[in-house]
Amino acid sequence: KVKKMNIKIKPVKKLIGDITVPGDKSISHRALMIGALALGSTRIKGLPESDDCNYTAKAFRDMGIDIRKESDVTIVDGKGLHGLKKPDNPLYMGNSGTTMRILAGILAGQDFESTLTGDAGISARPMRRVVEPLSMMGVKISAKCDGEYPPLTIVGGEVRPIIYKNLIASAQIKSAILFAGLYSKGTTKVMEPVRSRDHTERMLKYFGAKIKIEAKGVSIKGGSELRARQLKIPGDISSASFFIVAATLLKGSRIKIRDVSINPTRAGILKVLSMMGADIRTVNRKRQAPEPSADIIVKYSRTRGVTINKDMVPSIIDELPVIFVLASLSKGVTVIEGLQELRVKETDRITSMQNGLESMGACFKVEGHNVVIKGVKNLKGAMLKSFGDHRTCMALAVAALAAEGDSEIEGAESVSKSFPEFFDELASITL
Ligand code: S3P
């Protein structure tokens, strides 16, 4: 059981300095998973010590994969596509939705039965989105409430290739189908309304899978063995975004965040903030496979409201809470369209952010699936709630830094999901 923690936040003058953020959570899950399914030892530099990645590592250890750390390198002794062993107990995913949904696709191809469980939070998150396509692939998969909620039980084995037209732009669903497709005889194709983050495709390709990215989707050919590789995980742009927005909001700030992932399917925040008039530069760009990265330099700037269309949402899905904060203190009105997916994250992030920002004096309206925020002159410190969600917590912490008067956030332990060092890192650049 994690100890509940409140954190008190005082407004600060500005942020100055150089920092790094933990390795990208999405890329790290894939590195562990694909490393475990490859033949040979995959060496991963920069894997974060956050809760969600630890749950993924634990699940593979429970299936007989040796994962160990030697100084800053994590070594995964992969045993090939068919090297996992049946776990003795249900696999516990904690609060990690990414682990549960993607692992379901991998387990579809194993010749044993397995059950995936998690904490109370994950037990209320929708799973039909993976249960349905995997069932279409011939996998025996069941979940509570007629296929909607965890635990999931999967009887792996024969997998049939499919062509799947997903109505939601979701990398978790896409990845589950691609992994199941890796175990089928034939070619599986996934299409999406807008391309979601493509870390699985990049990493599978890097490890030797036969995968093709086409205009309308991704296809994978089943059966090819994966070969171990060396990886360096770049910093998580979702974690960096809290500092990017904080530096934009606080007069006189200048920060550099080193070696952050700038994968175009993830880096929508850089575009949105530039549109809003923020002063952001990327330098020292590295194009190394499988993921590009750069240092990000941010200086204070007065920002203005913009309209963000629904096609941009997948590339900023995890940054929306902190974008709401910036919009609240920008000149004019910001409209963000098509936010239905934000309601099914670790918490309903429209409600959690509206709750926090309104109590600080923001002008936040929900119109159907859109959010409309009218900038105000200043926010006032308040008693705030994380709703158990790491990103709500860190976004409200940024609002509190830029507010007048002190704030307190209930449930600050939630940051350990992706960024255990968040408050220490923040303190290190605060003036
Ligand atoms: C993730 C995909 C996104 C994102 C989540 C991580 C991933 O979820 O919000 O934090 O690593 O694939 P969806 O696939 O549900 O959009």
Q: What is the largest CA-CA distance in the chain?
A: 62
Summarize pLDDT for 295-338 with one digit per residue, the tens. Answer: 999 999 999 999 999 999 999 999 999 999 999 999 999 999 99
Q: Is 198 assigned a catalytic role? A: no
Of the candidates 57, 4, 10, the residue with the CA atom closest to the CA atom of residue 29: 57
φ, ψ for residue 101 (rounded to 5)? -70, -45
Type of residue numbered 332:
G
> Which atom from ligand 1 is nearest to the alpha carbon of 173?
14
Pocket test for ligand 1, best of 52, 55, 98, 316 (most atoms within 8 A of CB): 98
Give pLDDT, residue 291: 98
Confidence of residue 10 (pLDDT cuts 50, 70, 90): very high
> Which atom from ligand 1 is nearest to the alpha carbon of 29?
11
pLDDT mean over 51-76: 98
How far does residue 26's CA lie from ligand 1's centre (Å)?
7
Residue 183 has pLDDT above 80, yes or no: yes
pTM, full prediction:
0.98
Catalytic-role residue among 311, 318, 389, 406: 318
How far does residue 317's CA lie from ligand 1's centre (Å)?
8
> Which atom from ligand 1 is nearest to the alpha carbon of 169?
16
φ, ψ for residue 166 (rounded to 5)? -80, 135
The Cα 191–Cα 128 span in angstroms is 17
Residue 215 has pLDDT above 90, yes or no: no
> Which atom from ligand 1 is nearest to the alpha carbon of 314?
16
The Cα 187–Cα 347 span in angstroms is 36
Decide: 32 and 60 in contact? Cβ < 8 Å.
yes
Summarize pLDDT for 111-154 with one digit per residue, the tens. Answer: 999 999 999 999 999 999 999 999 999 999 999 999 999 999 99
The residue whose CA is least distant from atom 5 of ligand 1 is 98
pLDDT mean over 150-177: 97
The residue whose CA is least distant from atom 9 of ligand 1 is 318
Give pLDDT, residue 1: 63
Residues lining ligand 1, CB < 6 A? 26, 29, 98, 170-172, 175, 197, 317-318, 341
How far does residue 393's CA lie from ligand 1's centre (Å)?
18
Give the count of alpha carbons within 13 A of 9, CB side only: 35
